Amino acid sequence: MKKRVVLYFSAVQSEQPIIYQLIKNTDLIVNILKADINPQKEGYLVVELEGDKDSYEAGIRFLKNLGVIVEPLSQTVVWHDELCIQCGACASFCPTQALAIERDSMIVSFDNSQCVVCGMCLDCCPTLAIKLHFELQEAV
Amino acid sequence: MTKKSYEEINEKIRRGEAVVVTAEEVIDVVAEKGYAKAAEEIDVVTTGTFGPMCSSGVFINFGHAKPRIRMQKVWLNGVEAYGGIAAVDAYIGAAQVAENDPENKVYPGRFMYGGGHVIHDLVAGKDIRLEATSYGTDCYPNKNVDTVITLADVNEAFMFNPRNAYQNYNCAVNLGDKTIYTYMGVLKPRMGNAAYSTSGQLSPLFNDPYYRTTGIGTRIFLGGGIGYVAWNGTQHHPNVQRGENGVPMVTAGTLALIGDLKQMDPNWLVGLSYLGYGPTLAVGVGIPIPILDEEMLRYTAVKDEEILMPVVDYHQGYPYGNHTDLGFVSFKDLKSGRVNIKGKDAVTTPQSSYPRARQIAAILKAWIQAGKFELTQPVAKLPGADSPIEFKSLPDRQPSGAVSMVRNRR
Protein backbone atom coordinates (compact mmCIF):
# COMPACT_ATOMS: atom_id res chain seq x y z
CA MET A 1 0.00 0.00 0.00
CA LYS A 2 0.98 3.59 -0.58
CA LYS A 3 -0.38 6.51 1.43
CA ARG A 4 0.40 10.16 1.80
CA VAL A 5 0.32 11.69 5.26
CA VAL A 6 1.39 14.88 6.96
CA LEU A 7 3.58 14.57 10.06
CA TYR A 8 3.66 17.44 12.50
CA PHE A 9 6.69 17.72 14.77
CA SER A 10 7.31 19.67 17.94
CA ALA A 11 10.64 21.44 18.51
CA VAL A 12 12.06 18.49 20.51
CA GLN A 13 10.99 15.92 17.93
CA SER A 14 12.39 17.82 15.00
CA GLU A 15 15.90 17.29 16.35
CA GLN A 16 15.50 13.51 16.42
CA PRO A 17 16.38 11.25 13.45
CA ILE A 18 12.77 10.04 13.30
CA ILE A 19 12.65 9.21 9.59
CA TYR A 20 15.85 7.18 9.85
CA GLN A 21 14.33 5.14 12.67
CA LEU A 22 11.03 4.82 10.81
CA ILE A 23 12.75 3.29 7.80
CA LYS A 24 15.07 1.12 9.85
CA ASN A 25 12.31 -0.24 12.11
CA THR A 26 9.58 -0.83 9.56
CA ASP A 27 11.23 -1.20 6.16
CA LEU A 28 8.76 1.32 4.72
CA ILE A 29 9.74 3.21 1.58
CA VAL A 30 9.58 6.87 2.58
CA ASN A 31 9.35 9.59 -0.01
CA ILE A 32 9.48 13.14 1.40
CA LEU A 33 7.29 15.37 -0.76
CA LYS A 34 7.53 18.57 1.22
CA ALA A 35 9.16 19.68 4.43
CA ASP A 36 9.40 22.79 6.52
CA ILE A 37 10.73 23.79 9.93
CA ASN A 38 9.82 27.18 11.36
CA PRO A 39 12.17 29.39 13.42
CA GLN A 40 10.72 27.88 16.61
CA LYS A 41 11.98 24.51 15.30
CA GLU A 42 8.46 23.17 14.87
CA GLY A 43 7.82 21.62 11.54
CA TYR A 44 6.02 19.23 9.26
CA LEU A 45 6.80 16.64 6.64
CA VAL A 46 4.55 15.56 3.82
CA VAL A 47 5.55 11.97 3.16
CA GLU A 48 4.46 9.10 1.00
CA LEU A 49 4.76 5.80 2.88
CA GLU A 50 4.94 2.62 0.84
CA GLY A 51 5.03 -0.94 2.14
CA ASP A 52 2.78 -3.82 3.20
CA LYS A 53 -0.18 -3.17 5.47
CA ASP A 54 1.55 -4.42 8.65
CA SER A 55 4.62 -2.27 8.10
CA TYR A 56 2.45 0.73 7.37
CA GLU A 57 0.45 0.31 10.56
CA ALA A 58 3.58 -0.35 12.59
CA GLY A 59 5.10 2.79 11.14
CA ILE A 60 2.11 4.94 12.03
CA ARG A 61 2.09 3.46 15.55
CA PHE A 62 5.78 4.18 15.92
CA LEU A 63 5.29 7.82 14.92
CA LYS A 64 2.27 8.33 17.16
CA ASN A 65 4.12 6.80 20.12
CA LEU A 66 6.81 9.42 19.67
CA GLY A 67 4.13 12.10 19.89
CA VAL A 68 4.26 13.01 16.21
CA ILE A 69 0.84 14.08 14.98
CA VAL A 70 -0.15 12.13 11.89
CA GLU A 71 -2.88 13.53 9.64
CA PRO A 72 -4.16 12.31 6.31
CA LEU A 73 -2.94 14.56 3.54
CA SER A 74 -5.50 16.91 2.16
CA GLN A 75 -4.43 18.47 -1.11
CA THR A 76 -5.95 21.03 -3.37
CA VAL A 77 -5.08 22.12 -6.83
CA VAL A 78 -4.44 25.83 -7.15
CA TRP A 79 -4.78 27.53 -10.49
CA HIS A 80 -2.72 30.72 -10.73
CA ASP A 81 -4.73 32.89 -13.05
CA GLU A 82 -1.94 35.47 -13.28
CA LEU A 83 0.50 32.88 -14.69
CA CYS A 84 -2.02 31.26 -17.04
CA ILE A 85 -1.71 32.16 -20.71
CA GLN A 86 -5.07 30.60 -21.59
CA CYS A 87 -3.72 27.95 -23.94
CA GLY A 88 -6.22 25.40 -22.64
CA ALA A 89 -3.97 22.33 -22.71
CA CYS A 90 -5.03 21.43 -19.13
CA ALA A 91 -8.71 21.18 -19.96
CA SER A 92 -8.18 18.23 -22.28
CA PHE A 93 -6.55 16.27 -19.45
CA CYS A 94 -9.10 17.13 -16.76
CA PRO A 95 -11.42 14.16 -16.13
CA THR A 96 -14.08 16.17 -14.30
CA GLN A 97 -14.23 19.39 -16.33
CA ALA A 98 -13.01 21.33 -13.29
CA LEU A 99 -10.64 22.95 -15.76
CA ALA A 100 -12.82 23.77 -18.72
CA ILE A 101 -12.79 25.87 -21.88
CA GLU A 102 -15.75 28.03 -22.78
CA ARG A 103 -15.74 27.20 -26.49
CA ASP A 104 -16.93 30.50 -27.97
CA SER A 105 -14.28 32.58 -26.26
CA MET A 106 -11.82 29.68 -25.71
CA ILE A 107 -11.30 31.06 -22.20
CA VAL A 108 -10.13 28.62 -19.53
CA SER A 109 -11.64 28.55 -16.05
CA PHE A 110 -11.17 26.43 -12.95
CA ASP A 111 -13.95 25.23 -10.65
CA ASN A 112 -12.34 23.94 -7.46
CA SER A 113 -15.50 22.14 -6.34
CA GLN A 114 -15.29 19.80 -9.35
CA CYS A 115 -11.60 18.98 -8.84
CA VAL A 116 -10.66 15.48 -7.64
CA VAL A 117 -6.93 16.32 -7.32
CA CYS A 118 -5.82 13.69 -9.83
CA GLY A 119 -2.86 15.90 -10.76
CA MET A 120 -3.06 15.31 -14.53
CA CYS A 121 -3.11 19.04 -15.20
CA LEU A 122 0.18 19.59 -13.36
CA ASP A 123 2.12 17.82 -16.09
CA CYS A 124 0.66 19.53 -19.09
CA CYS A 125 0.72 23.20 -18.00
CA PRO A 126 3.67 24.84 -19.78
CA THR A 127 3.64 27.96 -17.60
CA LEU A 128 3.49 25.89 -14.39
CA ALA A 129 0.40 27.90 -13.44
CA ILE A 130 -1.25 24.90 -11.80
CA LYS A 131 0.21 23.83 -8.50
CA LEU A 132 -0.55 21.27 -5.86
CA HIS A 133 -1.18 22.84 -2.48
CA PHE A 134 -0.89 20.82 0.70
CA GLU A 135 -3.42 21.86 3.29
CA LEU A 136 -1.44 22.18 6.48
CA GLN A 137 -2.43 22.97 10.00
CA GLU A 138 -0.38 25.27 12.17
CA ALA A 139 2.61 23.27 13.38
CA VAL A 140 2.28 22.16 16.98
CA MET B 1 -13.29 47.55 -58.11
CA THR B 2 -11.65 48.65 -54.88
CA LYS B 3 -7.97 49.62 -55.15
CA LYS B 4 -6.11 51.23 -52.26
CA SER B 5 -2.44 52.05 -51.93
CA TYR B 6 -0.38 51.79 -48.77
CA GLU B 7 -0.07 55.58 -48.82
CA GLU B 8 -3.84 56.08 -49.05
CA ILE B 9 -4.38 53.73 -46.11
CA ASN B 10 -1.66 55.44 -44.05
CA GLU B 11 -3.18 58.84 -44.84
CA LYS B 12 -6.48 57.59 -43.39
CA ILE B 13 -4.64 56.22 -40.34
CA ARG B 14 -3.03 59.63 -39.79
CA ARG B 15 -6.41 61.32 -40.05
CA GLY B 16 -7.87 58.79 -37.61
CA GLU B 17 -10.33 57.64 -40.24
CA ALA B 18 -9.02 54.18 -41.09
CA VAL B 19 -11.51 51.33 -40.74
CA VAL B 20 -9.73 48.56 -38.88
CA VAL B 21 -11.21 45.18 -37.94
CA THR B 22 -9.69 41.99 -36.58
CA ALA B 23 -9.41 38.79 -38.62
CA GLU B 24 -12.41 37.47 -36.63
CA GLU B 25 -14.55 40.57 -37.10
CA VAL B 26 -13.95 40.67 -40.85
CA ILE B 27 -15.81 37.37 -41.20
CA ASP B 28 -19.00 38.93 -39.81
CA VAL B 29 -18.63 42.02 -41.97
CA VAL B 30 -18.36 39.84 -45.07
CA ALA B 31 -21.38 37.77 -44.01
CA GLU B 32 -23.40 40.94 -43.69
CA LYS B 33 -22.15 43.02 -46.61
CA GLY B 34 -20.42 40.72 -49.06
CA TYR B 35 -16.83 40.81 -50.29
CA ALA B 36 -17.01 43.85 -52.58
CA LYS B 37 -18.65 46.18 -50.06
CA ALA B 38 -16.42 44.91 -47.21
CA ALA B 39 -13.30 45.49 -49.34
CA GLU B 40 -14.42 49.02 -50.06
CA GLU B 41 -15.10 49.85 -46.40
CA ILE B 42 -12.30 48.06 -44.56
CA ASP B 43 -8.75 49.42 -44.72
CA VAL B 44 -6.86 47.08 -42.42
CA VAL B 45 -7.40 43.62 -40.94
CA THR B 46 -5.35 42.73 -37.87
CA THR B 47 -4.20 39.21 -37.02
CA GLY B 48 -2.63 37.65 -33.94
CA THR B 49 -1.02 34.53 -32.57
CA PHE B 50 0.43 33.61 -29.18
CA GLY B 51 2.08 30.24 -28.82
CA PRO B 52 5.32 28.38 -28.21
CA MET B 53 7.95 29.41 -30.78
CA CYS B 54 11.26 27.70 -30.02
CA SER B 55 13.18 29.42 -32.78
CA SER B 56 13.32 32.73 -30.91
CA GLY B 57 15.99 34.57 -29.01
CA VAL B 58 17.64 37.84 -28.13
CA PHE B 59 20.93 39.47 -29.11
CA ILE B 60 22.43 41.45 -26.23
CA ASN B 61 25.39 43.80 -25.94
CA PHE B 62 26.31 43.88 -22.25
CA GLY B 63 28.80 46.75 -22.29
CA HIS B 64 32.45 46.34 -21.30
CA ALA B 65 33.82 45.28 -17.94
CA LYS B 66 36.90 46.85 -16.40
CA PRO B 67 39.32 45.31 -17.25
CA ARG B 68 37.76 44.20 -20.51
CA ILE B 69 36.76 40.62 -21.28
CA ARG B 70 36.27 38.83 -24.59
CA MET B 71 33.36 36.68 -23.39
CA GLN B 72 33.89 33.15 -24.66
CA LYS B 73 31.28 31.38 -22.57
CA VAL B 74 28.29 33.34 -21.29
CA TRP B 75 25.51 32.36 -18.87
CA LEU B 76 22.38 34.30 -17.91
CA ASN B 77 20.82 32.97 -14.71
CA GLY B 78 22.74 29.76 -15.37
CA VAL B 79 21.45 29.36 -18.92
CA GLU B 80 24.16 29.48 -21.59
CA ALA B 81 23.98 32.20 -24.23
CA TYR B 82 26.00 31.92 -27.44
CA GLY B 83 29.15 34.02 -27.09
CA GLY B 84 30.86 33.26 -30.38
CA ILE B 85 30.39 36.81 -31.66
CA ALA B 86 32.14 40.04 -30.64
CA ALA B 87 33.58 40.52 -27.14
CA VAL B 88 30.49 41.49 -25.16
CA ASP B 89 27.73 40.40 -27.56
CA ALA B 90 25.76 37.21 -27.02
CA TYR B 91 22.58 35.49 -28.19
CA ILE B 92 20.25 33.85 -25.71
CA GLY B 93 18.04 31.25 -27.37
CA ALA B 94 14.53 30.43 -26.12
CA ALA B 95 15.04 26.68 -26.11
CA GLN B 96 18.37 26.66 -24.25
CA VAL B 97 18.37 24.27 -21.28
CA ALA B 98 19.86 25.51 -17.97
CA GLU B 99 23.45 24.43 -17.34
CA ASN B 100 22.72 22.11 -14.40
CA ASP B 101 19.31 20.93 -15.50
CA PRO B 102 18.76 17.21 -14.86
CA GLU B 103 17.33 17.04 -18.41
CA ASN B 104 15.56 13.73 -19.01
CA LYS B 105 17.72 11.81 -16.52
CA VAL B 106 14.62 11.53 -14.37
CA TYR B 107 12.14 11.02 -17.19
CA PRO B 108 10.14 13.02 -18.03
CA GLY B 109 12.27 16.04 -17.10
CA ARG B 110 10.52 19.20 -15.94
CA PHE B 111 12.80 21.91 -17.42
CA MET B 112 11.68 24.47 -14.88
CA TYR B 113 13.95 27.24 -16.19
CA GLY B 114 15.59 27.85 -19.55
CA GLY B 115 16.26 30.43 -22.24
CA GLY B 116 12.59 31.38 -22.63
CA HIS B 117 12.37 32.11 -18.91
CA VAL B 118 15.54 34.25 -19.04
CA ILE B 119 13.98 36.31 -21.84
CA HIS B 120 10.74 36.70 -19.86
CA ASP B 121 12.67 37.79 -16.74
CA LEU B 122 14.78 40.23 -18.77
CA VAL B 123 11.69 41.89 -20.26
CA ALA B 124 10.09 41.97 -16.82
CA GLY B 125 13.06 44.11 -15.68
CA LYS B 126 14.28 41.52 -13.18
CA ASP B 127 17.87 41.15 -12.03
CA ILE B 128 19.75 38.64 -14.15
CA ARG B 129 23.02 37.07 -13.06
CA LEU B 130 25.61 37.35 -15.83
CA GLU B 131 28.56 35.00 -15.68
CA ALA B 132 31.20 34.90 -18.40
CA THR B 133 34.58 33.24 -18.81
CA SER B 134 37.43 33.64 -21.26
CA TYR B 135 41.12 32.80 -21.82
CA GLY B 136 42.45 36.39 -21.69
CA THR B 137 44.16 38.33 -24.46
CA ASP B 138 46.37 41.42 -24.53
CA CYS B 139 43.37 43.59 -25.43
CA TYR B 140 40.87 41.66 -23.26
CA PRO B 141 42.84 40.48 -20.20
CA ASN B 142 39.84 39.66 -17.97
CA LYS B 143 39.07 35.94 -17.68
CA ASN B 144 36.04 36.00 -15.46
CA VAL B 145 32.98 38.15 -14.92
CA ASP B 146 30.22 37.47 -12.42
CA THR B 147 27.72 40.29 -11.98
CA VAL B 148 24.06 41.23 -12.04
CA ILE B 149 22.40 43.05 -14.94
CA THR B 150 18.94 44.23 -15.94
CA LEU B 151 17.47 45.03 -19.34
CA ALA B 152 17.91 48.75 -18.58
CA ASP B 153 21.67 48.24 -18.04
CA VAL B 154 22.55 46.66 -21.37
CA ASN B 155 23.37 48.73 -24.45
CA GLU B 156 21.17 46.88 -26.89
CA ALA B 157 18.81 43.96 -26.59
CA PHE B 158 16.92 43.04 -29.69
CA MET B 159 14.83 40.00 -30.32
CA PHE B 160 15.70 38.12 -33.47
CA ASN B 161 13.58 35.06 -34.08
CA PRO B 162 14.74 32.87 -36.96
CA ARG B 163 11.38 31.12 -37.30
CA ASN B 164 8.03 32.38 -36.04
CA ALA B 165 4.41 32.42 -37.17
CA TYR B 166 4.48 29.04 -38.91
CA GLN B 167 1.85 28.92 -41.63
CA ASN B 168 -0.02 25.78 -40.62
CA TYR B 169 1.30 23.04 -38.37
CA ASN B 170 0.86 19.36 -37.62
CA CYS B 171 -1.92 18.11 -35.41
CA ALA B 172 0.01 15.70 -33.17
CA VAL B 173 -1.24 12.30 -31.98
CA ASN B 174 0.40 9.26 -30.40
CA LEU B 175 -0.35 5.87 -31.98
CA GLY B 176 1.91 4.04 -29.51
CA ASP B 177 0.75 2.37 -26.32
CA LYS B 178 2.45 4.58 -23.77
CA THR B 179 2.32 8.30 -23.02
CA ILE B 180 4.93 10.41 -24.80
CA TYR B 181 6.26 13.86 -23.93
CA THR B 182 6.82 16.12 -26.93
CA TYR B 183 7.15 19.74 -27.99
CA MET B 184 3.44 19.42 -28.79
CA GLY B 185 2.81 18.59 -25.14
CA VAL B 186 1.82 15.35 -23.44
CA LEU B 187 0.36 12.88 -25.94
CA LYS B 188 -1.74 10.10 -24.49
CA PRO B 189 -1.39 6.60 -25.94
CA ARG B 190 -3.61 5.12 -28.64
CA MET B 191 -4.58 8.54 -29.93
CA GLY B 192 -5.95 9.60 -26.54
CA ASN B 193 -5.63 13.25 -27.53
CA ALA B 194 -4.78 15.42 -30.53
CA ALA B 195 -2.56 18.46 -29.93
CA TYR B 196 -2.47 21.50 -32.17
CA SER B 197 -0.84 24.92 -32.12
CA THR B 198 -2.35 27.71 -34.19
CA SER B 199 -4.80 30.55 -33.86
CA GLY B 200 -6.58 29.51 -37.08
CA GLN B 201 -8.63 32.29 -38.62
CA LEU B 202 -6.67 34.83 -36.53
CA SER B 203 -3.25 33.49 -37.52
CA PRO B 204 -1.16 35.94 -39.59
CA LEU B 205 -0.15 33.79 -42.55
CA PHE B 206 -3.55 32.12 -42.93
CA ASN B 207 -4.83 35.62 -43.69
CA ASP B 208 -2.15 36.35 -46.28
CA PRO B 209 -1.59 32.88 -47.71
CA TYR B 210 0.53 34.03 -50.69
CA TYR B 211 2.57 36.65 -48.73
CA ARG B 212 1.16 39.47 -50.84
CA THR B 213 1.42 42.15 -48.15
CA THR B 214 3.64 40.41 -45.58
CA GLY B 215 7.24 40.68 -46.72
CA ILE B 216 10.64 41.92 -45.69
CA GLY B 217 10.23 45.17 -43.79
CA THR B 218 6.60 44.69 -42.75
CA ARG B 219 5.98 46.46 -39.43
CA ILE B 220 4.30 44.18 -36.88
CA PHE B 221 3.34 43.63 -33.23
CA LEU B 222 6.11 41.58 -31.63
CA GLY B 223 6.13 40.66 -27.96
CA GLY B 224 4.05 43.68 -27.03
CA GLY B 225 6.29 46.13 -28.91
CA ILE B 226 6.88 47.05 -32.51
CA GLY B 227 8.92 44.69 -34.65
CA TYR B 228 9.56 43.95 -38.30
CA VAL B 229 9.68 41.02 -40.65
CA ALA B 230 13.41 40.60 -41.27
CA TRP B 231 13.48 37.73 -43.74
CA ASN B 232 11.64 34.55 -44.54
CA GLY B 233 11.94 32.24 -41.56
CA THR B 234 14.01 29.06 -41.52
CA GLN B 235 12.21 26.07 -43.06
CA HIS B 236 10.15 28.52 -45.19
CA HIS B 237 8.72 26.03 -47.65
CA PRO B 238 5.90 27.70 -49.52
CA ASN B 239 5.45 25.41 -52.52
CA VAL B 240 3.16 22.88 -50.89
CA GLN B 241 -0.36 21.55 -51.41
CA ARG B 242 -2.92 24.34 -50.91
CA GLY B 243 -6.70 24.52 -50.74
CA GLU B 244 -8.81 26.57 -53.17
CA ASN B 245 -8.53 29.52 -50.77
CA GLY B 246 -4.73 29.39 -51.04
CA VAL B 247 -4.32 28.12 -47.47
CA PRO B 248 -1.53 25.53 -47.27
CA MET B 249 -2.62 22.09 -46.07
CA VAL B 250 0.73 21.31 -44.44
CA THR B 251 3.53 23.36 -42.83
CA ALA B 252 4.53 26.08 -45.29
CA GLY B 253 5.71 29.68 -44.91
CA THR B 254 7.56 31.04 -41.87
CA LEU B 255 8.87 34.46 -40.83
CA ALA B 256 12.11 35.68 -39.28
CA LEU B 257 11.18 38.55 -36.96
CA ILE B 258 13.14 41.32 -35.32
CA GLY B 259 12.33 43.97 -32.73
CA ASP B 260 13.65 46.02 -29.81
CA LEU B 261 13.30 43.99 -26.62
CA LYS B 262 13.42 47.16 -24.53
CA GLN B 263 9.96 48.13 -25.84
CA MET B 264 8.42 44.73 -25.24
CA ASP B 265 6.20 43.44 -22.46
CA PRO B 266 6.56 40.28 -20.31
CA ASN B 267 2.88 39.50 -20.88
CA TRP B 268 3.65 38.74 -24.51
CA LEU B 269 6.91 36.85 -24.02
CA VAL B 270 6.33 34.04 -21.56
CA GLY B 271 8.82 31.29 -20.68
CA LEU B 272 7.40 27.78 -20.99
CA SER B 273 8.42 24.37 -19.65
CA TYR B 274 7.46 21.36 -21.76
CA LEU B 275 7.53 18.20 -19.67
CA GLY B 276 10.05 15.73 -21.05
CA TYR B 277 10.99 18.07 -23.89
CA GLY B 278 12.53 21.33 -22.76
CA PRO B 279 12.08 25.03 -22.19
CA THR B 280 10.73 27.43 -24.80
CA LEU B 281 9.05 30.80 -25.17
CA ALA B 282 5.49 31.83 -26.00
CA VAL B 283 5.78 34.73 -28.42
CA GLY B 284 3.02 37.17 -29.28
CA VAL B 285 2.92 38.17 -32.95
CA GLY B 286 0.36 40.35 -34.73
CA ILE B 287 0.53 41.36 -38.37
CA PRO B 288 -1.65 44.02 -40.00
CA ILE B 289 -2.98 43.30 -43.46
CA PRO B 290 -3.81 46.25 -45.71
CA ILE B 291 -6.94 45.70 -47.78
CA LEU B 292 -5.43 46.81 -51.07
CA ASP B 293 -8.23 45.20 -53.05
CA GLU B 294 -10.99 42.62 -52.90
CA GLU B 295 -8.51 39.76 -53.30
CA MET B 296 -6.80 40.72 -50.01
CA LEU B 297 -10.16 41.02 -48.31
CA ARG B 298 -11.12 37.53 -49.46
CA TYR B 299 -7.92 36.11 -47.97
CA THR B 300 -8.54 37.78 -44.61
CA ALA B 301 -12.10 36.44 -44.46
CA VAL B 302 -10.77 32.87 -44.09
CA LYS B 303 -12.72 30.87 -41.50
CA ASP B 304 -11.72 28.13 -39.07
CA GLU B 305 -13.63 25.50 -41.06
CA GLU B 306 -11.61 26.35 -44.19
CA ILE B 307 -8.29 25.68 -42.48
CA LEU B 308 -7.14 22.07 -42.59
CA MET B 309 -4.12 20.61 -40.85
CA PRO B 310 -2.46 17.23 -41.27
CA VAL B 311 -2.62 14.67 -38.44
CA VAL B 312 0.84 13.30 -37.66
CA ASP B 313 1.81 10.41 -35.40
CA TYR B 314 4.55 11.42 -32.93
CA HIS B 315 5.24 7.85 -31.83
CA GLN B 316 6.72 6.52 -35.09
CA GLY B 317 5.79 9.03 -37.80
CA TYR B 318 7.48 12.25 -36.73
CA PRO B 319 10.55 10.93 -34.87
CA TYR B 320 11.42 8.02 -37.18
CA GLY B 321 9.74 8.96 -40.44
CA ASN B 322 7.50 5.86 -40.41
CA HIS B 323 4.38 7.79 -41.32
CA THR B 324 0.83 6.56 -41.10
CA ASP B 325 -1.71 8.43 -43.22
CA LEU B 326 -4.13 9.94 -40.72
CA GLY B 327 -5.70 12.52 -43.03
CA PHE B 328 -6.58 16.09 -42.15
CA VAL B 329 -8.70 17.82 -39.52
CA SER B 330 -10.22 21.30 -39.63
CA PHE B 331 -9.31 23.99 -37.14
CA LYS B 332 -13.02 24.40 -36.39
CA ASP B 333 -13.23 20.78 -35.22
CA LEU B 334 -10.01 21.09 -33.22
CA LYS B 335 -11.41 24.15 -31.47
CA SER B 336 -14.63 22.30 -30.60
CA GLY B 337 -12.68 20.08 -28.19
CA ARG B 338 -13.12 16.81 -30.08
CA VAL B 339 -12.04 15.54 -33.49
CA ASN B 340 -12.64 12.39 -35.40
CA ILE B 341 -9.49 10.86 -36.85
CA LYS B 342 -9.92 7.79 -39.02
CA GLY B 343 -13.14 6.86 -37.21
CA LYS B 344 -11.79 7.40 -33.69
CA ASP B 345 -12.76 10.33 -31.47
CA ALA B 346 -9.98 12.19 -29.70
CA VAL B 347 -10.07 15.13 -27.30
CA THR B 348 -8.07 18.10 -28.54
CA THR B 349 -5.21 19.77 -26.68
CA PRO B 350 -4.40 23.34 -27.68
CA GLN B 351 -0.83 24.63 -27.26
CA SER B 352 -1.41 28.11 -28.65
CA SER B 353 -3.64 30.58 -26.78
CA TYR B 354 -6.67 31.63 -28.79
CA PRO B 355 -7.84 34.27 -26.23
CA ARG B 356 -4.36 35.83 -26.25
CA ALA B 357 -4.28 35.80 -30.08
CA ARG B 358 -7.59 37.65 -30.07
CA GLN B 359 -6.19 40.23 -27.63
CA ILE B 360 -3.16 40.83 -29.85
CA ALA B 361 -5.35 41.45 -32.89
CA ALA B 362 -7.40 43.88 -30.76
CA ILE B 363 -4.32 45.72 -29.45
CA LEU B 364 -2.89 46.11 -32.94
CA LYS B 365 -6.28 47.38 -34.12
CA ALA B 366 -6.29 49.95 -31.31
CA TRP B 367 -2.74 51.10 -32.17
CA ILE B 368 -3.72 51.65 -35.79
CA GLN B 369 -6.97 53.39 -34.91
CA ALA B 370 -5.09 55.70 -32.57
CA GLY B 371 -2.71 56.66 -35.39
CA LYS B 372 0.27 55.18 -33.52
CA PHE B 373 1.04 52.46 -36.03
CA GLU B 374 1.31 52.92 -39.78
CA LEU B 375 1.59 50.18 -42.35
CA THR B 376 4.72 49.51 -44.36
CA GLN B 377 5.01 48.22 -47.88
CA PRO B 378 7.48 45.31 -47.98
CA VAL B 379 10.86 46.32 -49.35
CA ALA B 380 11.25 42.85 -50.85
CA LYS B 381 8.96 39.86 -51.24
CA LEU B 382 9.29 36.54 -49.45
CA PRO B 383 9.85 33.52 -51.68
CA GLY B 384 6.36 32.73 -52.97
CA ALA B 385 4.27 29.63 -53.50
CA ASP B 386 5.89 29.01 -56.90
CA SER B 387 9.51 29.24 -55.70
CA PRO B 388 11.43 25.98 -56.15
CA ILE B 389 12.43 25.58 -52.50
CA GLU B 390 13.19 22.02 -51.49
CA PHE B 391 12.66 20.87 -47.91
CA LYS B 392 16.00 19.21 -47.29
CA SER B 393 17.05 16.64 -44.72
CA LEU B 394 20.46 16.17 -43.17
CA PRO B 395 22.85 14.20 -45.41
CA ASP B 396 24.13 10.95 -43.94
CA ARG B 397 27.79 10.75 -45.00
CA GLN B 398 30.93 9.05 -43.71
CA PRO B 399 33.45 11.68 -42.49
CA SER B 400 37.07 11.01 -43.49
CA GLY B 401 38.59 11.40 -40.02
CA ALA B 402 37.83 8.43 -37.76
CA VAL B 403 38.02 10.50 -34.57
CA SER B 404 35.29 13.02 -33.80
CA MET B 405 36.46 16.60 -34.13
CA VAL B 406 34.59 17.61 -30.97
CA ARG B 407 33.88 14.62 -28.77
CA ASN B 408 37.48 13.89 -27.77
CA ARG B 409 37.87 17.42 -26.41
CA ARG B 410 35.18 16.94 -23.77
Confidence check: pLDDT of A15 > 90:
no
Confirm if B211 and B351 have CB atoms less than 8 A apart: no
Q: State how many domains chain A has.
A: 2
pLDDT at A112: 87
Contact B337 A127 (CB under 8 A): no
Within 8 A of A86 by CB-CB distance, chain B residues are 353-356
CA gap B114, B59 in Å, rounded:
16
Q: Is A123 on the interface with B (CB under 8 A)?
A: yes
Write out the catalytic residue numbers of B. 139
Q: Which residues contact B171 (CB under 8 A, 6 or more apart)?
A: B194, B195, B196, B309, B310, B311, B312, B329, B334, B339
DSSP secondary structure string, B176-206?
SSS-EEETTEEE-TTTTEEEE---GGG-GGG
pLDDT tens-digit map of B190-215:
999 999 999 999 999 999 999 999 99
Report if residue A139 sits inside a domain.
no
Chain A residues touching B193 at Cβ < 8 A: 92-93
Contact yes or no for A89 and B185 at CB 8 A: yes
CB atoms inside a 10 Å sphere around CB B30: 20
Q: Do A89 and B50 touch (CB under 8 A)?
A: no
Q: Looking at the structure, do residues A50 and A26 belong to the same domain, yes or no? A: yes
* This prediction's pTM: 0.89
Q: Name the residue of chain B whose CA is nearest to A85's CA.
A: B353
Q: Are residues A36 and A89 in the same domain?
A: no
Q: B27 in helix, strand or coil? A: helix
CATH code of the domain in which A12 resides: 3.30.70.260
**A40 in a domain, yes or no?**
yes
In a domain, A25, yes or no: yes
Residue B124 touches partner A, C-beta closer than 8 Å: no
Domain co-membership, A94 together with A67: no
| Structural domain span for residue A82 | 75-134
Q: Sort strands B344-350 and B193-196 into parallel, antiparallel or unpaired.
A: parallel
Residues A63 and A98 in one domain: no
Is A60 a member of any domain? yes
Per-residue pLDDT at A140: 45
A140 in any annotated domain: no
Residue B343 CB burial class (10 angstroms; 0-12, 13-18, ≥19): exposed
Residues B296-323: tens digit of each pLDDT:
999 999 999 999 999 999 999 999 999 9
pLDDT at A130: 96
pLDDT tens digit sequence for B320-349: 999 999 999 999 999 999 999 999 999 999
Supply the pLDDT for residue A118. Answer: 82
Q: Same domain for A90 and A124?
A: yes
Residue A6 maps to a domain: yes
- The CB-side HSE value for A96 (13 A sphere, CA atoms) comes to 13
Please indicate, yes or no, if residue A64 is contained in any of the structural domains: yes
Give me the residue from A88, A91, A127 closest to B270, CB to CB: A127
Which range among A3-17, A60-74, B237-251 shows the weakest confidence by mean pLDDT? A3-17
Domain assignment of residue A36, yes or no:
yes
From CA B188, how far away is CA B174, in angstroms rounded?
A: 6
Do A79 and A127 lie in one domain? The reply is: yes
Which residues from chain A sit within 8 angstroms of residue B186, using beta carbons? 93, 123-124
Phi, psi of A23 (to 5 degrees): -70, -45
Domain boundaries, chain B: 57-104+112-158
Cα maximum dimension of chain B: 72
Interface confidence, given as ipTM, is 0.93
Reduced to 3 states, what is the DSSP secondary structure of residue B153?
Answer: coil
Q: Do A79 and A66 sit in the same domain of this protein?
A: no
The domain boundary, picked from A52, A72, A92, lies at A72
Measured between CB atoms, does B331 come within 8 Å of chain A? no
* Cβ neighbours for A18, distance < 8 A, ≥ 6 positions apart: A9, A63, A66, A68
Task: Determine the average pLDDT of the residues in A92-119.
Answer: 92
Q: What residues in B contact A128, CB-CB < 8 Å?
A: 112, 273
Statement to judge: residues A67 and A88 lie in one domain: no
B 197-256 residues inside an 8 A Cβ radius of A: none
Q: Do B282 and A126 touch (CB under 8 A)?
A: yes
Same domain membership, residue A81 and residue A66: no
Q: What is the pLDDT of residue B408?
A: 60
Q: Are B193 and A92 an interchain contact pair (Cβ–Cβ within 8 Å)?
A: yes
Write out pLDDT tens, residues B168-183. Answer: 999 999 999 999 999 9
Kindly determine whether residue A106 and residue B354, on different chains, have CB atoms separated by under 8 Å.
yes
Q: Quick one: average pLDDT of A20-46?
A: 88
Q: What is the pLDDT of residue B180?
A: 98
Residue among B205, B171, B166 at smallest CA distance from B185: B171
pLDDT(B410) > 90 = no
CATH number of the domain to which A86 belongs: 3.30.70.20
Residue that wins the pLDDT comparison between B113 and A10: B113
How high is the pLDDT of residue B401? 77
Whether residue B395 is preceded by a cis peptide bond, meaning omega within 30 degrees of 0, is: no
Cβ atoms within 10 Å, residue B164 = 24
Residue ending a domain, among A72, A89, A121, is A72
Q: Are residues A65 and A86 in the same domain?
A: no
Q: How confident is the prediction for chain B on average, in pLDDT?
A: 97
CB-CB contact of B123 with B264 (8 Å): yes
- B111, pLDDT greater than 90: yes
Rounded Cα–Cα distance for residues A131 and B4 (Å): 52
